[in-house]
């Protein structure tokens, strides 16, 4: 029996609540590394597995794992943003390795976090939104906005500016991930991009660079982000134009 849109919304809200639990337990307060990261990773994997059953039960999405068609190929350049901080190191130097022994469990945590977030914000959320519209730009913007706003939970850590910055770049990242998912990349590619972005630009970069976020750092990241955004916009407008009946030669 087909579930109503209202029931699917309730199903998504349950999934979102479980997600907040999975990412919200501060294991680092009572466990040392690597156990804190491994405990957090295990909880995210549990959410990922549970989400598979909930998505199927609620009918939120049907095909969300394997790539489809070739539309996702044009989205591959988005992978460059996962290395924006590495470009900064390459151009400006300042590499000072430290804490590399912790990279393995940071990698596990980044992977499990990416799996959980992509299952929720791409597979479940986009599947739900597609019940009401098929317009790509609306689907991408709404899912990216909700993805960004969900990071506001980090305000509970007591910091303000870094969380605002995080919400800004996660919105832009959400635009790229949303397009990649909708154009056939599905979770196979979005999890990979999300993982590389988190691991390379955060965990790995933190081990290689011990300096401050200076002007050159922001200029490098903003420049690459702007180039990627312009490319995203071109892809979006090109697709929209091809679907516009007025663009068809009579």
- The structure tokens listed for 178 are 């949303």
Q: Does residue 233 surpass a pLDDT of 70?
A: yes
The pTM assigned to this predicted structure is: 0.93
DSSP state string for 174-229: HHHHHHHIIIIIHHHHHHHHHHHHHIIIIIIHHHHB-S---HHHHHHHHHHHHHHH
Strand partners, 209: 95
Domain spans of the chain, in order of start: 65-247
Nearest to 89 by CA among 182, 211, 196, 173: 211
pLDDT attached to residue 245:
41
**Over the stretch 107-166, which tens digit does the pLDDT of each residue have?**
999 999 999 999 999 999 999 999 999 999 999 999 999 999 999 988 887 888 889 999
Q: Tell me which of 19-23, 39-43, 63-67, 111-115 is least confident.
A: 63-67
| More confident: 46 or 64 | 46
Sign of the alpha-carbon dihedral angle for 160, 165, 168, 169: negative
Q: Sorting pLDDT into bands at 50, 70 and 90, what band is 213?
A: confident
pLDDT, tens digit, 9 for 90 and up, residues 168-194? 999 999 999 999 999 999 999 999 999
DSSP 8-state secondary structure symbol assigned to residue 200:
I
250 has a pLDDT exceeding 60: no
Q: What is the pLDDT of residue 241?
A: 63
Report the alpha-carbon distance of residue 201 to residue 122 in Å, rounded: 21
């Amino acid at each position: 029996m087909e579930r109503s849109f209202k029931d699917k919304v309730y199903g998504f809200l349950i999934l979102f609540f479980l997600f907040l639990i999975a990412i919200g337990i501060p294991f680092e307060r009572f466990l040392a590394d690597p156990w804190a990261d491994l405990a957090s990773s295990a909880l995210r994997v549990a959410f990922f597995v549970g989400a598979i059953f909930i998505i199927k039960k609620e009918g939120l999405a049907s095909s969300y794992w394997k790539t489809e068609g070739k539309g996702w190929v044009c989205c591959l350049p988005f992978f460059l943003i996962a290395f924006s901080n590495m470009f900064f190191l390459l151009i400006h130097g300042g590499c000072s390795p430290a804490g590399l022994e912790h990279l393995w469990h940071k990698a596990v945590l980044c992977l499990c976090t990416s799996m959980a977030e992509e299952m929720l914000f791409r597979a479940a959320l986009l599947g739900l939104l597609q019940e009401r519209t098929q317009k790509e730009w609306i689907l991408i913007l709404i899912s990216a906005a909700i993805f960004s706003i969900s990071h506001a939970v980090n305000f509970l850590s007591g910091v303000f500016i870094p969380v605002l910055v995080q919400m800004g770049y996660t919105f832009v990242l959400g635009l790229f991930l949303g397009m990649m998912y909708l154009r056939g990349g599905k979770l196979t590619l979005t999890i990979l991009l999300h993982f590389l972005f988190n691991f390379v630009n955060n965990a790995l970069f933190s081990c290689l660079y011990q300096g401050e976020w200076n002007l050159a750092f922001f200029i490098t990241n903003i420049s690459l982000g702007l180039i990627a955004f312009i490319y995203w916009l071109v892809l979006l407008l090109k697709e929209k134009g091809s679907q516009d009946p007025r663009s068809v030669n009579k």
